[in-house]
Structure 1
Amino acid sequence: MPMAAVEPRRVAMISVHTSPLEQPGTGDAGGLNVYVAETARELAARGIEVDIFTRRTTGETPVEADLVPGVRVRHVTAGPYEGLAKEDLPGQLCAFSAGIMQAGLSVPEDHYDLVHSHYWLSGQVGWLAADRWRVALVHTMHTMARVKNLHLADGDPPEPRGREIGEVQVVEAADRLIANTDDEARELIELYAAPPAKVSVVPPGVDLTTFTPGDRREARRALGLPVDGELLLFVGRIQPLKAPDVLLRVAGELLRRDPARRERLTVAVLGGPSGSGLTRPHELEELARGLGIDDVVRFVRPVARPVLAQWYRAADLVLVPSHSESFGLVAIEAQACGTPVVAAHVGGLPTAVGDAGVLVDGHATPAWADAVESLLRDDRRRLALGSAAVSHAAQFGWGATTDRLLEVYQQAIRERANGTNESPIDEGQSLVGVPTAVIP
């Protein structure tokens, strides 16, 4: 007889390099921040306490802060507050781990029921914390070095060998691995030799109360944009991996094909420099000038989520041209607002976009311009895709994500208590010839 479900009472989440309190869209803050914050909120709504451990990056940052009741963000001092890039943080993992161990001394030994680490740096720390507290370790990669290195943008440096080694160690140490999509599960198995029975597919979600359909003209008025005309939008961190240059090149090609379009076209890039983009912070502005389109391009700093939703509603199309994407929260947010997405056919974007958008193979400007131009010309198809997008996004609420996540937590706790490796929750499709744990 299987053991009864073991509901966690307290969960320690670890996000070393970026805090859920930070504004997504610049620096190292992005989809991971949203994932951690939203799942923690949902867990707290179910009566599960969550402590999120992250690195302190300013002297003004409080040692502890409540995200919502039941979710406490604990800032750990590890290295200088400022001036450390994500690539420098492996040298601070010992200090960060010591800070977590020190925090653990203030609570009973059995305080935490499970550790959930996010990104490989956190996985290294989570490995130690879970071992020290004798609890299960659940890990979400979010991105993987070997996957990114297979899909590098031109001029983007490869991820270092040290990260690959660290990721392999986390895969071996974790009791459970969370993949966003079936493709990511396959990559964990094929590229990292993850045991299939340890891998569970749990798609991320979208805030369906904030990202909702609305009147496009009213959204444009609220943002001070031309009410009529065409608006193409990119949202995300400005770095080669996210390929925002594709949007500018597409705009240049559209204007070359139809110079009269300049009177009605607006191109918006919403985000801030990140990663290798920090070394060339003005590259996109220079590209816009070089293409002769700087008069139609607007560069917008990251904004709060309600305002971001207005940008999605205002756009005719949202472009997500990333070279690698584990899921693509921007795509699902845009679709929840009723805006069709044109996305690269990579990583988790086919899952995020589904049949409610257009996927483009490669990053060649003519192919992207053809896809965008055909949708701008066909109002009926674009509106139909927008309607389908809302229905598609409705499947991905954070509540559903957290329900599935809790099943993985319960299984990891049971396995740790039994000292066994249970069969998958549900036998999903065969990946490289063997079943993977797929949460339906």
Structure 2
Amino acid sequence: MLSVHTSPLHQPGTGDAGGMNVYIVELARRLAAIDIEVEIFTRATTGALPPTVELAPGVLVRHVDAGPYEGLAKEDLPAQLCAFTHGVMQVWAGHRPGHYDLVHSHYWLSGHVGWLAAQRWGTPLVHAMHTMAKVKNAALAAGDTPEPAARVIGETQIVRAADRLIANTAEEAGELVRHYESEPHKVAVVHPGVNLDRFRPAPPHQHLAATALDVYRETSPETSPEAVAASRAAARERLGLPQHALVPLFAGRIQPLKAPDVVLRAVAHLLTEHPSLRDRVVLPVVGGPSGSGLAKPEGLQKLAARLGIADLVQFRPPVGQERLADWYRAASVLVMPSYSESFGLVAAEAQACGTPVIAAAVGGLPVAVRDGVSGFLVDGHDPADYARMLHRFVTAPDLAARMGASAARHAQSFGWDAAAAATADVYGAALHERRGRLRSTHG
């Protein structure tokens, strides 16, 4: 596997680390569990880590020196692809011939390294876009920076070169065919997964109050509204959040693409329409600035002050996955008004924890969120529309628990084991096709 611009060892929610990091780590672990050994090549961003790190049995992370460890923006990385490729080739030269059976590249920067490596080694290239420049540029947030033409050209080349392309959803598969003229037979749809052991309505070994524990034990499965409500109460106690507050949560990288400003404006609109709710709303924002958001890292705090809701917003830095799961559990609802999402892992994780989602009806979110069952989909990014959805959770106090129970059940279909098995099938098809071509060539 190739992941040039972000390491699977990085904390999601910081810098360029996000859903793709989680995707690569979880997929690699599950592939190793079904006897597919994985080596992940990524760019070294600190001298503190050794050249190789065992992430899990059968999963090795290799750090490649390519450019300075720190201070290199994602936009500057194309100039380091030659150095990165050289590092990959050096490792390969130390192995016996045929050591690598297949190359799986993630994101367009990795795709260019994968293109060369796969040709040099005589292996298939499987590529996952994760996001696409043409799709992002068609749905830019106000003030966001368009993706450069060089990326569009690069993605087009990779689509042509790859033996197989993995898309998160049928819509993304259609976009690959429509925008990049991919051959339809080369595109396979594999939904990303969720770590259902970590993201669940109640964490393992959770210590609930006696009454809540009785409810939890008596309900089967744990995805009943009563169990979800009990888990939410316990999570709020752990995080110091008021029990009866409306807690809309934003979790993710703080950048225009993810539209955290829409969440703040929606809460401000809700309070303008219903001033009596002011003492009953807490808005946690869990994540760090990223991408074009790095230019104005304090922008969201200043917006909260201008909207008059600074006292209601809790800005929290990115947290580990165990802690993030607790933030999901504690929330009344996750709000995800992104302008573009290839899938929306955050939405799937929150639902797995028993929390409904209000999301923009873009990209893969209509697959991740079942409208009216596990959450609500909103057309567009008008804060008033999101405020109206938030108000539904005020007028129906049991809605968060009822919809959260449905969300937890819905998320059960997004397990990583299924994603790994489907990915292994894609690998098998690519290898079979490659061997068939070799036989016909030499026949």
- Cα deviation 1:9-53 (Å, max 9, x = unaligned): xxxx00000011000011010000000000000011112211000
Task: For 1:308, give the aligned amino acid.
Answer: L
- When the two chains are superposed, the root-mean-square deviation of aligned CA atoms in Å is 1.1
1:206 to 172, 189, 194: 194
Shift of 1:77: 0.4
- Structure 1 residue aligned with 2:33: 45
Secondary structure class of the residue paired with 1:230: coil
User: Within the alignment, does 1:79 sit opposite 2:95 as a pair?
Assistant: no
- Structure 1 residue aligned with 2:250: 234
Shift of 1:88: 0.4
- Structure 2 residue aligned with 1:265: 281
On the 8 A contact 1:202/1:401 being kept in 2, the answer is yes
Superposed, 1:291-330 pairs within 5 Å as 291-330=307-346
Shift of 1:382: 3.2
Instruction: Select between 393-402 and 352-361 the one with higher mean Cα deviation.
Output: 352-361
- Structure 2 residue aligned with 1:288: 304
Shift of 1:420: 8.0
2:236 to 189, 213, 220: 220
1:250 to 260, 263, 266: 266
- Gapped regions of structure 2 (runs ≥ 5): 203-230
Superposed, 1:98-177 pairs within 5 Å as 98-177=86-165
Separation in structure 1 between the aligned mates of residue 426 and residue 395 of structure 2, nearest angstrom: 46
Secondary structure class of the residue paired with 2:30: helix
Instruction: Select between 384-393 and 186-195 the one with higher mean Cα deviation.
Output: 384-393
Separation in structure 2 between the aligned mates of residue 36 and residue 183 of structure 1, nearest angstrom: 21
Separation in structure 2 between the aligned mates of residue 130 and residue 378 of structure 1, nearest angstrom: 55
On the 8 A contact 1:115/1:137 being kept in 2, the answer is yes
Separation in structure 2 between the aligned mates of residue 406 and residue 341 of structure 1, nearest angstrom: 31
User: Within the alignment, does 1:373 sit opposite 2:391 as a pair?
Assistant: yes
Secondary structure class of the residue paired with 2:247: strand
On the 8 A contact 1:26/1:238 being kept in 2, the answer is no
Separation in structure 2 between the aligned mates of residue 389 and residue 374 of structure 1, nearest angstrom: 16
User: Within the alignment, does 1:390 sit opposite 2:378 as a pair?
Assistant: no
- Structure 1 residue aligned with 2:421: 403
Secondary structure class of the residue paired with 1:419: helix
- Cα deviation 1:108-167 (Å, max 9, x = unaligned): 120011000000000000001111110000000000000000000001011000000000
Task: For 2:118, give the aligned amino acid.
Answer: A
- Cα deviation 1:198-242 (Å, max 9, x = unaligned): 000000000000000131111011112222211110000000000
- Cα deviation 1:181-211 (Å, max 9, x = unaligned): 0000000000000000000000000000000
Secondary structure class of the residue paired with 2:242: coil
Separation in structure 1 between the aligned mates of residue 176 and residue 394 of structure 2, nearest angstrom: 38
Separation in structure 1 between the aligned mates of residue 19 and residue 435 of structure 2, nearest angstrom: 32
Separation in structure 2 between the aligned mates of residue 407 and residue 54 of structure 1, nearest angstrom: 25
- Cα deviation 1:239-270 (Å, max 9, x = unaligned): 00000011100110111112221111100100
- Structure 1 residue aligned with 2:217: none
Separation in structure 2 between the aligned mates of residue 339 and residue 18 of structure 1, nearest angstrom: 28
- Structure 1 residue aligned with 2:219: none
Separation in structure 2 between the aligned mates of residue 351 and residue 114 of structure 1, nearest angstrom: 29
Task: For 1:405, give the aligned amino acid.
Answer: T
Task: For 2:274, give the aligned amino acid.
Answer: D
- Structure 2 residue aligned with 1:184: 172
Instruction: Select between 326-335 and 57-66 the one with higher mean Cα deviation.
Output: 57-66
Secondary structure class of the residue paired with 2:47: coil
Separation in structure 2 between the aligned mates of residue 133 and residue 193 of structure 1, nearest angstrom: 26
- Cα deviation 1:338-368 (Å, max 9, x = unaligned): 1110000000000000232100000011111
Separation in structure 1 between the aligned mates of residue 55 and residue 268 of structure 2, nearest angstrom: 43
- Cα deviation 1:79-108 (Å, max 9, x = unaligned): 111110111000000000000000101111
Task: For 2:337, give the aligned amino acid.
Answer: P
Superposed, 1:82-101 pairs within 5 Å as 82-101=70-89
Secondary structure class of the residue paired with 1:379: coil
Separation in structure 1 between the aligned mates of residue 78 and residue 4 of structure 2, nearest angstrom: 10
TM-score by length of 2: 0.91
Separation in structure 2 between the aligned mates of residue 330 and residue 157 of structure 1, nearest angstrom: 23
Paired-residue identity, %: 59
User: Within the alignment, does 1:335 sit opposite 2:354 as a pair?
Assistant: no
Separation in structure 2 between the aligned mates of residue 377 and residue 138 of structure 1, nearest angstrom: 49
On the 8 A contact 1:376/1:382 being kept in 2, the answer is no
Aligned residues: 409
Secondary structure class of the residue paired with 2:282: strand
Separation in structure 2 between the aligned mates of residue 162 and residue 135 of structure 1, nearest angstrom: 26
On the 8 A contact 1:325/1:347 being kept in 2, the answer is yes
Secondary structure class of the residue paired with 1:342: strand
Separation in structure 2 between the aligned mates of residue 156 and residue 195 of structure 1, nearest angstrom: 31
Which structure is higher in strand share? Answer: 1
Shift of 1:418: 0.8
Shift of 1:381: 3.5
Shift of 1:292: 0.3
Shift of 1:383: 2.7
